């Protein structure tokens, strides 16, 4: 049986792991969502889905995001930034805490942490997002969210991978299996269009998200 992610440990320590854009200005903003026509790289939302960390590369990226979001220090903690983040990184890397699917050797973990500290608070490379739902939007049904995403993204534009990813996130956040038919329906296009514009990396991510529902 898969170990449940111990997100409470992060919350109790006031570790920041999600943040909406801070400098990018939305093209359209409502009570329910912000829409960025050109996309934004500033939306960080770790641990939103049930998908766990499965590779060293992904683990390092999570470390970089956490370091970046918390580089001013963790509120209410007297430890140094590096001591704070070392505790956080080691907790997440411990398979028993439910964040990763593999065991990592101590020397490899220490080397990874050292690399992250060396990079500093540089914004990590992130996936582009176009639709960022606000807290008031959570009562919306999955169908309503997909309808909003489809209408905003499909305004006379060619479907690209980032559009498909938006739909995948909406489905996964609602604990729904991601299918090509559902994505195509949301974006008001054919399944052939989705297959044609869905790269191998996105296909793998689709399978990973579905496998951990």
Instruction: Please check whether residue 1 lies inside any domain of the structure.
Output: no
- 66 in Cβ contact with 117 (< 8 Å): no
15-33 core/surface letters (b: 16 or more CB in 10 A; e: else): bbbeebbeebebeeeeebb
Instruction: Please check whether residue 69 lies inside any domain of the structure.
Output: yes
197: containing domain = 140-211
Instruction: Please check whether residue 145 lies inside any domain of the structure.
Output: yes
| Residue 154: per-residue pLDDT | 64
Based on the domain organization, do 115 and 178 belong to the same domain? no
Based on the domain organization, do 11 and 95 belong to the same domain? yes
Q: Given 119, 152, 178, which residue is the final one in a domain? A: 119
| Residue 115: per-residue pLDDT | 94
Q: Is 1 helix (H, G, I), strand (E, B) or coil?
A: coil
Number of domains in the chain: 2
Instruction: Please check whether residue 126 lies inside any domain of the structure.
Output: no
Instruction: Please check whether residue 100 lies inside any domain of the structure.
Output: yes
| Residue 8: per-residue pLDDT | 95
Q: How many residues does the chain have?
A: 213
Based on the domain organization, do 93 and 175 belong to the same domain? no
Instruction: Please check whether residue 164 lies inside any domain of the structure.
Output: yes
pLDDT in tens, the chain (213 residues): 457 899 999 999 999 999 999 999 999 999 899 999 888 999 998 987 777 888 899 899 999 999 999 988 776 566 688 888 999 999 999 999 999 999 999 999 999 999 999 997 888 988 888 888 887 777 777 778 878 887 887 655 677 777 788 788 778 777 788 999 988 887 878 899 899 888 888 888 888 788 866
Q: Given 57, 88, 119, which residue is the final one in a domain? A: 119
Q: Given 87, 119, 151, which residue is the final one in a domain? A: 119
| Residue 130: per-residue pLDDT | 87
Based on the domain organization, do 145 and 51 belong to the same domain? no
Exposed / middle / buried, residue 141 (Cβ in 10 Å: 0-12, 13-18, 19+): exposed
Instruction: Please check whether residue 21 lies inside any domain of the structure.
Output: no
- 65 in Cβ contact with 59 (< 8 Å): no
* Residue from 171, 146, 161, 186 nearest 33 by CA: 146
Based on the domain organization, do 115 and 11 belong to the same domain? yes
What's the pTM value of the predicted model, to 2 decimals?
0.75
Based on the domain organization, do 157 and 78 belong to the same domain? no
Instruction: Please check whether residue 198 lies inside any domain of the structure.
Output: yes
| Residue 71: per-residue pLDDT | 86
Which is it for strands 129-133 and 28-29: parallel, antiparallel or unpaired? unpaired
| Residue 1: per-residue pLDDT | 45
């Amino acid at each position: 049986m898969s170990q449940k992610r111990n997100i409470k440990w992060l919350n109790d320590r006031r570790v920041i792991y999600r943040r909406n854009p801070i400098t990018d200005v939305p093209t359209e903003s409502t009570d329910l969502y912000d829409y960025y026509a050109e996309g934004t790289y500033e939306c960080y939302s770790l641990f939103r889905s049930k998908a766990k960390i499965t590779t060293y590369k992904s683990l390092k990226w999570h470390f970089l995001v956490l370091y970046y979001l918390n580089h001013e220090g963790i509120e209410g903690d007297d430890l140094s930034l590096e001591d704070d983040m070392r505790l956080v990184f080691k907790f997440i890397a411990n398979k028993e805490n439910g964040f990763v699917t593999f065991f990592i050797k101590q020397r490899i973990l220490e080397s990874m942490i050292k690399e992250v500290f060396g990079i500093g608070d540089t914004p990590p490379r992130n996936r582009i997002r176009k639709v960022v739902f606000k807290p008031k939007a959570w009562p919306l049904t999955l169908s309503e969210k997909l309808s909003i995403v489809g209408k905003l993204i499909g305004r006379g534009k060619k479907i690209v991978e980032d559009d498909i990813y938006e739909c995948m996130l909406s489905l996964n956040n609602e604990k729904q299996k991601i299918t090509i038919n559902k994505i195509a329906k949301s974006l008001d296009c054919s399944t052939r269009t989705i297959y044609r514009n869905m790269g191998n990396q996105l296909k793998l991510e689709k399978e990973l998200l579905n496998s951990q529902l």
